Chains A and B, each alone.
Chain A
Amino acid sequence: MTLHAAEPAAGASTQAGPREPVPPSRAALRRADRRRRFRRDWPLLLMVAPTILVLGAFHYLPLLGNVIAFQDYSPFVGILESPFVGFANFERLFGDPDFWRATANTLGITAFQLVFFFPVPIVLALLINSLLSARLKLFIQSVVYLPHFFSWVLVITLFQQMLGGAGVVNNFLRRNDLGVIDLMTNPDTFILLVTAEGIWKDAGWGMIIFLAALSTVNADLYEAAAVDGANRWRRLWHVTLPALVPVIVLLLIMRLGDALSVGFEQFLLQRGAVGVNASEVLDTYVYYEGVVNGDFAYAGAAGLFKGVVGLLLVLGANKAAHLLGQQGVYSRS
């Protein structure tokens, strides 16, 4: 201690440059800083740990499990022992008409919903935004959000009770000798049914983000437009819609990125009623090939194909958002 204390004084008196302590290197500083920050922040890390563990075990570990797509996987020997077969599973997959039918169904449903489902929340938001009474607004919002919190089983059960063969609508029609309409089991109108269910369940919820965008519009803009002689429709066109465009573009792009995901439960639950031809989508195809038929490697290949194409679509969609000058799903920073 005393030696150290004496040394700087001695150095200072002689003014010798080389005697001064060497400044620690940048890497050493960074290491020291990291150690210091770790000592300060370890409680935070401890808090994150359980989540990271769960995500590691049930998200990142299974990610590695995708190698079975390239294996002749057998559940008896496991992933580590199963022989690799290259792209054989994918070759079989791409030669399978059932797979292409599932892909076509999936894309068809996405396209149909883009046209008929996507605009509904926007229209609903405009409608609710045009109401003057705050109380009425809140009431309607509460009502239309509600079905979002019902399970698909429940939604489909309700639809069956309303539109099914013994449902309210058909009972009414029968009673008045108007014949019956077959909606719940008709493969030809399945796409309509699925979209209607989707709208019933989630259109109100989808409205939230548009309402938020509308609430940011400056009321002065409307007044200025009105003073300039714009009637209500022109104000809608020139003031309201431009405020919604960024959100619309963002959601549209996100939906396109999700083109291969149309949901699972809705199709699984109605597969029995309308038949495989109309209701098989990629998700249910993977489930039936893998878990039901036990063909894990083949289904794994189908799932990996869907995952990789889906990821590319999301990345591409985000790129498109950047190119259009929108913020996108995530920023590049």
Chain B
Amino acid sequence: MAERPETTTPRRRRHPLRPAWEEEPTPLGRTAKAVVITLVVLAVAFPLYVVVLTSLSPQEAITRAGGLVAVPDGFTFAAYEEILSGGVVTRSVLVSTGLTLFGTLFSTTLTVLAAYGLSRRGSFAHRPLLFAVLLTFLFGPGLIPTYLTVQTFGLLDTYASLVLPTAVAAFNLVVMRSFFMSIPQELTDSARIDGAGEFRILVSLVLPLSKAVTAVIALFYGVGYWNAFFNAFLYLSDNDKWPLQLVLRTYVLEGIPIPGAGPIDSVAGGPLPTLAVKMAVVVLAVLPVLFVYPFVQRHFTKGVIIGAVKG
């Protein structure tokens, strides 16, 4: 059967991308693969689709469907109008947005500076400093001592408590540093000969070359701040300051009205949030991620692998 190599007598027209030595997949294998892939894609997409659709459906449609709406049936922005007309949800969206913008800027700046500062081989004290950074990988101080530290610094119930304790992630720093070290040293050396200082080299030479990595790192930080739940849960007792994720948990996951100002719960105790309102909050929580994601997504593999391989 295998007397002569298959390559000499191709029986069928081959797929243009399939190498000549590879056999055609069986119809069964091909179908199985297609089914699995469709299921995987659906598993991610279907919940999002249903949630978005429900948030845009009028109350009657939701009642008719007996819960989440899977087939389009009427269309209204009422839920969004309700939560965005100034209330707990509106405030928390503003808080989360501000926190994300400021936190991302702060963390990325610190990380870029430190990564560059530690990226020159043989520079003064870079070994012990790098070691101090890497050691944070290995063990954390623990929840209770961190809480007590934040308390001692008087940061409880401040936004600083959401930014400072987790401002720099060692992993991101190491990824950045590996990238900076891969930039040929002749480039920075020539800039130095031309009289540029370190800050100048970083800003006008190194950063423009590292746009992709910086974007990925900024996305990591940004998503972290947008999704910040635990620190806020731990350090903020004042629900006026709550970011969106805490509102999402209380209001949507547990279905408890949040005491405070706003049209949703102006009545004492407040009406329970309707399903459309709940789903609108969910959509608000996903939206920024969905929006930024496509722009940065293509850099992931590159950025992460550099970190994983060299880190």
- A residues apposed to B, CB below 8 Å: 34, 37-38, 40-48, 50-52, 54-55, 57-66, 68, 78-79, 124, 127, 130-133, 138, 140, 142-147, 149-154, 156-158, 160-162, 166-168, 171, 175, 200, 204, 208-209, 211-212, 219, 222-223, 226-227, 229, 231-232, 264-265, 268-269, 272, 283, 286-287, 290-291, 296, 299-300, 303-304, 306-307, 310-311, 314, 330
A-side contacts of B304, CB under 8 Å: 208-209
Using A43-B198, A55-B168, A79-B148 as known contacts, say yes or no to A156 and B253 having CB atoms under 8 A apart.
Answer: yes
A-side contacts of B229, CB under 8 Å: 151-153, 265
B41 within 8 A of A: yes
B-side contacts of A161, CB under 8 Å: 47, 50-51, 68, 279, 282
B145 and A59: CB pair below 8 A? Answer: no
B193 within 8 A of A: no
A-side contacts of B150, CB under 8 Å: 58
Most central of A65, A79, A154, A222 by chain B CB within 10 Å: A154
Using A48-B129, A167-B68, A212-B301 as known contacts, say yes or no to A307 and B254 having CB atoms under 8 A apart.
Answer: no
A48 and B138: CB pair below 8 A? Answer: no
Closest B residue to A261 by beta carbon equals B140
Q: Please report the C-alpha to C-alpha distance between residue A283 and residue B80 in the assembled complex, in whole angstroms.
A: 36
A165: shortest Cβ distance to chain B, in Å?
A: 10
Using A45-B117, A211-B301, A291-B234 as known contacts, say yes or no to A62 and B142 having CB atoms under 8 A apart.
Answer: yes
A-side contacts of B227, CB under 8 Å: 149-154
A311 and B138: CB pair below 8 A? Answer: yes
A-side contacts of B308, CB under 8 Å: 209, 212
Most central of A37, A145, A150, A296 by chain B CB within 10 Å: A150
Q: Please report the C-alpha to C-alpha distance between residue A47 and residue B207 in the assembled complex, in whole angstroms.
A: 14
B44 and A143: CB pair below 8 A? Answer: yes
B133 within 8 A of A: yes
A235: shortest Cβ distance to chain B, in Å?
A: 9
Chain B, range 271-302, C-beta contacts under 8 Å to A:
279, 282, 285-286, 289-290, 293-294, 297-298, 300-301
Extra contacts besides A44-B126, A65-B148, A66-B145 (5): CB < 8 Å: A38-B124, A47-B116, A200-B44, A226-B21, A290-B147
Interface residues in B, total, Cβ within 8 A: 98
Q: Please report the C-alpha to C-alpha distance between residue A228 and residue B144 in the assembled complex, in whole angstroms.
A: 61
A62 and B282: CB pair below 8 A? Answer: no
Closest B residue to A283 by beta carbon equals B143
Q: Please report the C-alpha to C-alpha distance between residue A171 and residue B2 in the assembled complex, in whole angstroms.
A: 56
Q: Please report the C-alpha to C-alpha distance between residue A241 and residue B152 in the assembled complex, in whole angstroms.
A: 52
B-side contacts of A127, CB under 8 Å: 33, 36-37
B289 and A149: CB pair below 8 A? Answer: yes
Using A58-B146, A132-B17 as known contacts, say yes or no to A50 and B114 having CB atoms under 8 A apart.
Answer: yes
Give 25 CB contacts A-B under 8 Å: A41-B125, A47-B202, A52-B133, A54-B110, A55-B136, A61-B149, A62-B145, A131-B33, A143-B45, A146-B290, A150-B286, A151-B248, A152-B227, A153-B285, A157-B249, A158-B51, A166-B67, A168-B50, A204-B44, A208-B300, A223-B19, A269-B249, A290-B143, A296-B148, A300-B142
A147 and B142: CB pair below 8 A? Answer: no
A133 and B199: CB pair below 8 A? Answer: no
Q: Please report the C-alpha to C-alpha distance between residue A212 and residue B23 in the assembled complex, in whole angstroms.
A: 25
A264 and B230: CB pair below 8 A? Answer: yes
B305 within 8 A of A: yes
A307 and B286: CB pair below 8 A? Answer: no
Closest A residue to B26 by beta carbon equals A232
B113's partner among A42, A48, A131, A153 (CB-CB below 8 A) is A48
A140 and B145: CB pair below 8 A? Answer: no
A150's partner among B22, B124, B167, B289 (CB-CB below 8 A) is B289
B258 within 8 A of A: no
A-side contacts of B132, CB under 8 Å: 52, 55, 60
A286 and B37: CB pair below 8 A? Answer: no
B-side contacts of A131, CB under 8 Å: 33, 37
Closest B residue to A284 by beta carbon equals B143
B139's partner among A54, A78, A212, A310 (CB-CB below 8 A) is A310
Using A38-B124, A48-B113, A62-B148 as known contacts, say yes or no to A140 and B37 having CB atoms under 8 A apart.
Answer: yes
A-side contacts of B144, CB under 8 Å: 65, 68, 286, 290-291, 296, 299-300, 303
B-side contacts of A168, CB under 8 Å: 50, 67-68, 70
B-side contacts of A291, CB under 8 Å: 143-144, 147, 234
Q: Please report the C-alpha to C-alpha distance between residue A51 and residue B170 in the assembled complex, in whole angstroms.
A: 10
Q: Please report the C-alpha to C-alpha distance between residue A158 and residue B67 in the assembled complex, in whole angstroms.
A: 13
Closest A residue to B142 by beta carbon equals A303
A149's partner among B165, B168, B198, B223 (CB-CB below 8 A) is B223
Q: For the complex of A and B, list the 3 residue pairs with the smallest distance between their C-beta atoms, beginning with the closest.
A: A65-B145, A151-B227, A47-B117
B-side contacts of A314, CB under 8 Å: 138-139
A-side contacts of B279, CB under 8 Å: 161
Closest B residue to A212 by beta carbon equals B305
B68 and A229: CB pair below 8 A? Answer: no
B181 within 8 A of A: no
Q: Please report the C-alpha to C-alpha distance between residue A37 and residue B238 in the assembled complex, in whole angstroms.
A: 50
Using A47-B117, A65-B145, A291-B147 as known contacts, say yes or no to A140 and B66 having CB atoms under 8 A apart.
Answer: no
B111 within 8 A of A: yes
B282 and A43: CB pair below 8 A? Answer: no
B289 and A153: CB pair below 8 A? Answer: no
Q: Please report the C-alpha to C-alpha distance between residue A61 and residue B167 in the assembled complex, in whole angstroms.
A: 15
Q: Please report the C-alpha to C-alpha distance between residue A211 and residue B133 in the assembled complex, in whole angstroms.
A: 29
A160's partner among B66, B134, B253 (CB-CB below 8 A) is B253
B254 and A272: CB pair below 8 A? Answer: yes
B13 within 8 A of A: no
A101: shortest Cβ distance to chain B, in Å?
A: 19
Using A232-B23, A307-B142 as known contacts, say yes or no to A43 and B293 having CB atoms under 8 A apart.
Answer: no
A-side contacts of B19, CB under 8 Å: 219, 222-223
B148's partner among A68, A130, A132, A231 (CB-CB below 8 A) is A68
